[in-house]
A and B are shown apart, each in its own frame.
Chain A
Amino acid sequence: MNEEPPGGPKIRAGYDLEIRHLKNRAVEMGDWALQMFHDGWEAFEAGDLEAAQKVLDRGAQLDRYDEDMEHAAIAFLVLRQPTAIDLRTAAALLKITTHLDRIGRLGFDMARITSPETSGDKDDLTRVLERMDAVVESMVRQALDALATDQVSLARDLFRRDDEVDQLHREANRRIIDLMVKTPAAAPRLAMDLLVARHFERIADNACKVGEKTIYALTGQRRSEYLPRHPVVPYVLEAPRKDGRARK
C-alpha cells in the first residue's frame, strides 16, 4: 500500500521532449511562413518581380511543413493517446499549423499580385500599409514566441494589438477609396492595395488564432472564457466619429 515516497510523487518527464519537439517544428514552420509574408510584402511594395518569384517558389516547402506537422501530431495522438495538457497541445498544434500555413499563403498571395506599376502619389496610404506591416509582422513573431516559450501573457497581448490592426485596416480602406475617387485611372493598382490591406488584417487574425490555441494548450481555457465577443453591427450603423465622418 502507498508506496510513494514522502513529499509527493516522483515526477517523470513524460512526453515533454516529444511535445517540445512538435512545438519546435511548428515554430520552424512559423518562421518560414513569416519570412514568406515579409518578403511577399517587400516584393509587392517594391514592384520587384524577381523577389516575388522567390516567395512563390517557397510555397511548396510551406505545404511540406504543413503535411509533416499534421503527420507528426496525428502520430503523437495515435501512439501516445495523450490526455490533459499533452492532448490539448497536440490538438492545438493541428490547428496552429493551419493558421501558420495561411499566414505564409497570404504572403504568397502578395507576391502573386506584385506588379512593376507600384509607385504613385499615395504617400499617406503607403505609410498606413507600412505601419500595418510593422505591427502585423511583430504580432506573428510574438505569436511564435508565445508558442516557443509557453507564455500565456504574450499570447493574450495579441488580442489587444489586433484592435490596432483593425483600425489601420479601416484607415487604409478609407484612403484607398478616397484615392480611387480622386484618380480613377489608378483604380486597378489601388484594388491591389485594397487586397494587401485585407491580407495584413487576415494575417493578424491568424496570429491571434495561434495565440488563442497556445493559451488553450497551456491552460485549457477557450477564448470565450477570457475574452467574450462583443456584439457587432454593420459599419454603416456604427456611431459616427467625433470628426463627423462616417466610419468605413
Chain B
Amino acid sequence: MEGTKLKVDRLTAYYGDNPAIREISLDFPERRVTAIIGPSGCGKSTFIRCLNRMHETGAHTRVEGKVLLDGEDIYDDDPVRVRRRIGMVFQRPNPFVTMSIYDNVSVALRFNGRHPREYVDQVVIRSLQQAALWDEVSDRVDAPATSLSGGQQQRLCIARALAAGPEVLLMDEPCSALDPLATSKIEELIGQLKQDYTVVIVTHNMQQAARVADFTAFIYLGGLVEFGPTEQLFERPKERLTEQYITGRFG
C-alpha cells in the first residue's frame, strides 16, 4: 500500500451554523487518483474546497477537524503556501481572459518572486507539456487564452495549476463543461499526472470515476458513506446506500 499524502481527520465544514459536511475522515494515497462521488448538494465541492483552504474564503464559513499534508496540518500553515502545494482546477475553464497563453501559465511564478526568463520559459513549456497542450499551442503561446477551445482552456488551467509546483491537484468536475473528445483527453491526462501528483477529482460521472480513479469515496448528506478501491466500489459496494446511488436508484 502506498503512503498517505493527504489525511483528512474528522473534518466538519460549516456555512453559518449549518454543517455541509460532517466528521469526514479519509486518507488520500500518494500518486493515486481518488474520486469523490455523490448526489448534488451532498457536500462534495465543499469537501474538496476544504482541502486547500478555499472553503474559508467564503462569508460565514468555518472548518473543524484536520487536513494533514505529509503529516502537517494545512490549517496551521499559510493559506497561500497551502494553495501552491495543493492546486485546484475548477468545473468551468477559467483562464485569465486578458492574458496570453504564456502569461496564463507563467502568472503562478510571477506571484512567487522574480525568476530569470529562461527559467520561466522552462516551467511554462514543461507545464504545458504535462497538461498535454504544448503540441497544440507551441507556435502561438502569445495568442490570447480565449482563442483556445473549451477543452484546451481547461488543459491550460491544469498547466497553470502545475506551474505553481503543487504536490496535490484537486479537480472539481473538470470535464463537466467539455465535449466527449475533450473529456477523454483530460481523462488520459489525469492518468499521466498521477505519476507525479496526488489527484483528487470530484465527478458526477460514474463512468468517469470508474475510468480514472484508483480509489473512490461516496459522500451522501455531508457524510462519508464508503471509501475503497474503485473497482470494488463499482462492482460490489459494501454499503446498500452506495449501491442504490451508483445504480441510479436515487439521487
Please count how many residues in chain A sit with their CB below 8 Å of the partner chain's CB atoms. 21
Q: List the A side residues contacting B244 at CB < 8 Å.
A: 9, 11
Specify which of B39, B42, B246 is in contact with A84 (CB 8 Å cutoff).
B246
Q: List the A side residues contacting B247 at CB < 8 Å.
A: 14-15, 82-86
Which of B51-59, B111-119, B230-238 contacts the other chain?
A: B230-238
Does A81 contact B15, Cβ atoms closer than 8 Å? Answer: no
In the complex, B60 has a CB within 8 A of chain A:
no
Interface CB pairs A-B, < 8 A, 19? A2-B41, A2-B42, A2-B222, A4-B39, A4-B221, A9-B241, A9-B244, A9-B245, A10-B250, A11-B250, A12-B249, A15-B247, A81-B206, A82-B247, A83-B210, A83-B235, A84-B237, A85-B243, A88-B235
In the complex, B18 has a CB within 8 A of chain A:
yes
Q: How large is the interface on B (under 10, 10 to 19, 20 to 34, 35 or more residues)?
A: 20 to 34
Binding site for A on B (CB under 8 A): 15, 18, 20, 39-43, 206-207, 210, 220-222, 234-237, 241-251
In the complex, A121 has a CB within 8 A of chain B:
no
Nearest residue, chain A, Cβ from B249: A14
In the complex, A87 has a CB within 8 A of chain B:
yes
Specify which of B41, B206, B250 is in contact with A1 (CB 8 Å cutoff).
B41
Nearest residue, chain A, Cβ from B245: A9
How distant is the Cα of A231 from the Cα of B170 in the complex, in angstroms? 50
Nearest residue, chain B, Cβ from A216: B236
Of A9, A11, A83, most B-chain CB atoms within 10 Å: A83
How distant is the Cα of A84 from the Cα of B235 in the complex, in angstroms? 4
Q: List the B side residues contacting A9 at CB < 8 Å.
A: 220, 241, 244-245, 250-251
How distant is the Cα of A226 from the Cα of B27 in the complex, in angstroms? 31
Specify which of B20, B235, B245 is in contact with A87 (CB 8 Å cutoff).
B235
In the complex, A236 has a CB within 8 A of chain B:
no
